[in-house]
Amino acid sequence: MSQASIGGLPAQQLWWRVRARNAAGVFGPFSSTRRFTPVTAPTTPTLSSVSVSPTAVVGGAGSTGTVSLTAAAPAGGALVTLTSSNAVATVSPSVTVAAGATSATFAMTTSAVAATTPVTLTATHGGVSRTATLTVNPTGSSGTLPAPSLVSPADDARFNSGQTVVFDWSDVAGSASYIIQVDDQDTFPSPIVNQTISASTYSTNTLPVTRMWWRVRALDASAAAGAWSSARRFEVR
């Protein structure tokens, strides 16, 4: 057989040559060489996910959505269509992920509601759809947010100095952001960490070597604070 198929070659300039061997196992001279360059087939991106942040707002406040692709968008960008299941939350008909990018953001606007209303956001690209949920709360919920439930670290968890500590807690319906406090006293008189963030998680690797406590509370779109969670103890050593 005077041919061969080889896959998995690197995408770079290569050369090839051939020589024959007779029945006695004796090789003849090599042929001349030829140059070629394998080309990697382009990856067609598909829709990976859609998300909103914050995931709950008081009616009239906005939220930011993000669509993500499995690979970089091609030349000309990737058009992702958007739909909302309820008119209390509106989005533009589509968002374009720019060429070479893997994600794009878009704005969601909401209107006042009389009762808590979940809205499903659907993003579609290349025949693939992904969904996210935005909860729209009535104005009367301002300042009455419940305390989050702490998830991790567990009570009395221990970490090594310089180790990243990931704090995680439950989402609070109607929240626009959260305040996390970490202190070396359980009354939190002078917090080592006193951070306002939009996600229900926080990470740090700069905590001192000592025993500490942490707690969280939610803020609504008007920055009215809800109840503090219980405090948990942990230690960096």
pLDDT digits (tens, 9 = 90+) for 152-196: 999 999 999 999 999 999 999 988 899 899 999 998 988 999 888
Contact assessment for residue 63 and residue 108, using Cβ atoms and an 8 Å cutoff: yes
Residue 76, by phi and psi: left (phi above 0), alpha (psi -120 to 50) or beta?
A: left
Question: Alpha-carbon dihedral of residues 173, 178, 182, 183, nearest 10 degrees?
Answer: -100
- pLDDT tens string 90-127: 999 999 999 999 999 999 998 888 888 899 999 999 89
| Per-residue model confidence (pLDDT) at position 47 | 94
pLDDT tens digits, residue range 5-39? 888 888 889 899 999 888 888 888 999 999 988 87
